[in-house]
Structure 1
Amino acid sequence: MNTTVASAPVALPVDSARLAWLPVALFGSVMGLTGLAVAWRVAHTLFGTPLWLAGGIGVLALLAFVLLAGAYAVKAVTGFAHVRAEFAHPIASNLFGTPLISLLLIPLLLVDLDQTLARVIWSIGAVGMTVFAWLMVSRWISVRQKPAHATPAWIVPVVGMIDIPLALPALGWADSLHGLMVFATAVGLFFAIPLFTLILSRLMFEEPLPDALQPTLLILVAPFSVGFSAYTATAGGVDGFATALFMLALFVLAVLVGRLRNLLQCCPFKVSWWAVSFPLAASASAGLKYAVFAHDAVASGIAVALLALATTVIAGLTVRTVWGVARGELRALSS
Structure 2
Amino acid sequence: MPASYFGIVLGLAGLGSAWRAASRAWQLPGVVAEWIYAFAGVVWALLVILYMLKAVLAPTKLVEEAAHPVQCCFIGLAGVATMLIAGGLVPHFRLSAEIVFAVGFAFTLIFAVWRTGGLWQGERDHAATTAVLYLPTVAGSFVSAIVVSALGYPDWGQLAFGAGIFSWLAVESVLLHRLLTGPTKAAPLRPTLGIQLAPAPVGAVAYIAIGGGVPDIFVHALIGYGILQLLVMARLSHWIAQAGAVPGLWAFSFGATAIATAPARLIALGDHGAIAVLGPLLFVMANVVIVCLTVMTLFLLLSGKMFSSPRK
Give me the TM-score of the superposition, normalised by structure 1: 0.87
**How far apart, CA to CA, are the structure 1 residues paired with 2:123 and 2:132?**
17
**How far apart, CA to CA, are the structure 2 residues paired with 1:192 and 1:274?**
20
Contact preservation (8 Å) 1:271, 1:334: no
Amino acid at match of 1:68: L
Distance 1:333 1:248, change over 3 A: farther
**How far apart, CA to CA, are the structure 2 residues paired with 1:252 and 1:273?**
16
**How far apart, CA to CA, are the structure 1 residues paired with 2:92 and 2:267?**
28
Residue 245 in 1 paired to residue 222 in 2?
yes
Distance 1:202 1:188, change over 3 A: same
Contact preservation (8 Å) 1:291, 1:300: yes
Contact preservation (8 Å) 1:39, 1:307: yes
Partner in structure 2 of residue 103 of structure 1: 82
Which string of whole-angstrom CA distances, capped at 9 and with x for unpartnered residues, describes residues 210-260 of structure 1?
A: 212222212112111111111222222333322222222122222223344
Contact preservation (8 Å) 1:272, 1:334: no
Distance 1:333 1:63, change over 3 A: farther
Match among 98, 102, 107 for residue 119 of structure 1: 98
Partner in structure 1 of residue 51 of structure 2: 72
Task: Indicate the RMSD between aligned Cα atoms, in angstroms.
Answer: 1.8
**How far apart, CA to CA, are the structure 2 residues paired with 1:205 and 1:294?**
43
Alignment of 1:317-332 (within 5 A): 317-332=293-308
Q: Structure 1 residues 300-309 or 164-173, which shifts more?
A: 164-173
Contact preservation (8 Å) 2:191, 2:243: no
Contact preservation (8 Å) 2:194, 2:249: no
- CA positional deviation for 1:262: 4.8
Partner in structure 2 of residue 255 of structure 1: 232
- CA positional deviation for 1:282: 1.1
Unaligned runs of 5+ in 1: 1-21
**How far apart, CA to CA, are the structure 2 residues paired with 1:291 and 1:191?**
28
- The alignment of Structure 1 onto Structure 2 pairs a total of residues equal to 309
Alignment of 1:1-335 (within 5 A): 22-157=1-136, 158-174=138-154, 178=155, 180-237=156-213, 238-260=215-237, 262-264=239-241, 266-293=242-269, 295-296=271-272, 298-332=274-308, 335=311
Amino acid at match of 1:192: W
Amino acid at match of 1:150: T
Which one has more relative contact order, counting CA pairs under 8 Å at least 6 apart? Answer: 1
- CA positional deviation for 1:112: 2.3
Contact preservation (8 Å) 1:249, 1:283: yes
Unaligned runs of 5+ in 2: none
- CA positional deviation for 1:263: 4.6
- CA positional deviation for 1:48: 0.8
Percentage of identical aligned residues: 28
Amino acid at match of 2:168: A
Which string of whole-angstrom CA distances, capped at 9 and with x for unpartnered residues, describes residues 109-148 of structure 1?
A: 1122211010001111112212222112211112322221
> What SS does the corresponding residue of 1:118 show, helix, strand or coil?
helix
Contact preservation (8 Å) 2:82, 2:101: yes
- CA positional deviation for 1:152: 0.6
**How far apart, CA to CA, are the structure 2 residues paired with 1:332 and 1:209?**
24
**How far apart, CA to CA, are the structure 2 residues paired with 1:236 and 1:281?**
21
Q: Structure 1 residues 30-39 or 56-65, which shifts more?
A: 56-65
- CA positional deviation for 1:293: 4.5
Give me the TM-score of the superposition, normalised by structure 2: 0.93
- CA positional deviation for 1:261: 5.0
Which string of whole-angstrom CA distances, capped at 9 and with x for unpartnered residues, describes residues 4-25 of structure 1?
A: xxxxxxxxxxxxxxxxxx2110
